[in-house]
Amino acid sequence: MKFRPLIAVSTLFAMLAMPMAASALDVNITADQPSVDVMHGGKKVTIMRNQDPNRTINPDFAKTSRKCPPFCVQPGELAPGVETIGELETIQYLKKMSGGDKSILVIDSRTPDWVEKGTIPGAVNIPWDQLNIGHSDPITVQEILEKQFGVRNQDGFNMFDNAKTVVMFCNGPWCGQSPTNIRGLLKIGYPAHKIKWYRGGMQDWEALGLTTVKPVL
């Protein structure tokens, strides 16, 4: 699966609106962490919060009413053993992955039309409908498991001893795309402790003004 290089559009806007050096930001990620550098598409991208005090949330995530089903509120705990994480933990996994830790994979589970609107720097897009175990093409699913998740196939059985820790997210607490994939992985025996779920997804990421990237046109 090939991915196009991306540019950090929101980072550019934040820098243009910022009246001071990056080392003295008004809006840090945490009190002692102004920004974090990660790799995306072979290029360094700086994750930071938008510095414009008048900036409002992306209109794509401003809706408060979406028909349920399918856009129903997800539980805080998706499944036993699967850790629900927030932005800071997600950033740490991105940092480790960018630092060369090949045992971690941060996954944007959304369909390409949503990814075109912007994604989290460092995340790899694996559309949920390609990994919808039991419904998607079995060959495609197996290829993702082996080539991207580090799952070994031995005598027709999936072996998870070297499987990666996967951090999965989608559009937010009302999105069922990554939860569908996580439940499917658990059904085939993927270790729950190797699955992390960023429940807030793009909804919360955008609300905090964190950097997003878009495909190069």
In the chain, where the domains are located: 6-51+73-215
In eight-state DSSP terms, residue 60 is: G
Is the bond into 5 cis (omega within 30 degrees of 0)?
A: no
- Give the dihedral sign, CA 121/206/132/168: positive
pLDDT value, residue 9: 53
pLDDT of residue 108: 97
The two structure tokens encoding residue 147: 């080539």
pTM value? 0.88
Strand partners, 197: 84, 168
Structure tokens at 190: 């993927």
Residue 10 pLDDT > 80: no
Provide the pLDDT confidence category of residue 83 given band limits of 50, 70 and 90.
very high
Q: pLDDT digit string (tens) for 161-206? A: 999 999 999 999 999 999 999 999 999 999 999 999 999 999 999 9
State the burial class of residue 142 (Cβ atoms within 10 Å of its Cβ: 0-12, 13-18, 19+): middle
Please enumerate in sequence order all residues whose Cβ is within 8 A of that of 104, keeping only pairs 6 or more positions apart, or say none: 93, 96, 97, 164, 165, 166, 167
Q: What average pLDDT does the segment 79-90 reach?
A: 98
Q: What kind of fold does domain 6-51+73-215 have according to CATH?
A: Oxidized Rhodanese; domain 1 (3.40.250)
Helix and strand element counts for the chain (H, E): 6, 11
Query: What is the helix, strand, coil percentage profile of the chain, to 5?
Result: 30, 20, 50
Q: Enter the DSSP assignment of 192.
A: G
Beta bridge partners of 216: none
Does the pLDDT value for residue 5 go beyond 90? Answer: no
- Cα 121 to Cα 209: distance, rounded to the nearest angstrom: 13
Question: Which tens digits make up the pLDDT trace of 100-150?
Answer: 999 999 999 999 999 999 999 999 999 999 999 999 999 999 999 999 999
Distance separating the N- and C-terminal Cα atoms of the chain: 19
Residue 186: HSE in the Cβ half-sphere, 13 Å Cα cutoff: 16
